[in-house]
Structure 1
């Protein structure tokens, strides 16, 4: 991955093997308005979460749009867009459906609360498709994002959280492709 800094507060990120084709293999970031988080997914794959910079005292009412874009170093993976998020936590799960491609766990970030959604995405026809989602209490370390998919007798399950009678419970939702 090659990072190029410019004096106009914009930066273009390209694949080093094809730096001329910025529309296909790269993205442009306006550092006056946006910022980038880098998430290491594996020893060979990383993701870049492009998001709007935070505005002082913003709790979800200062901008028209709170959509993030996720770009991957694996150029065969398309961009993932997600609305109502100001950041994201990501984890690869490995190949759950036998298509030789890993699935992706995605937890969007918001301004407040330890509650979020946990979303399982799979690559289908060169598009990220949401396979299963549920609630997640991410302030607990009992089941971090990377441990949210578990093997079951019939395949795999997604661990989700719920609150019942003032007690946290963990549910196992069957994953079907």
Structure 2
């Protein structure tokens, strides 16, 4: 029986812009700072609970392409993935340790802001998805989608879901 790597779900902020490690296969990395906190029973507020923890996060495939297009330094995110410990040697010869997360999922932390989700077509390169908004299943705020219902034309505002006069 093989034991799997420890699985984590972390909430934190990007410490640097996502950077491309390789184009084929797509691989992107970013830093994550996690500020541990706990809910204070008396005040019912979230309060700091320990030192800031830093992780390297590596994303692969479609996740890598979407992270590269969607996230920036400072963004609050949730990361789900497997934890790996990686040893390395500093220039002075001393040993260092890095904790790296191989991400399965990355999402904006909606406790701290809002987001507009835009579904991408499977298998399409990131550049093609960005250049072909008609190929997307859902649109950004203010975009409309046209179609037919019961043989008649219908236009829907994708931001609000309301019907718009055609």
Q: Give the structure-1-normalised TM-score.
A: 0.27
* Greater C-alpha Rg: 2
The structure where helix makes up a greater share of residues is 2
Q: Name the one with the larger strand percent.
A: 1
Q: Scaled by the length of structure 2, what TM-score is found?
A: 0.28
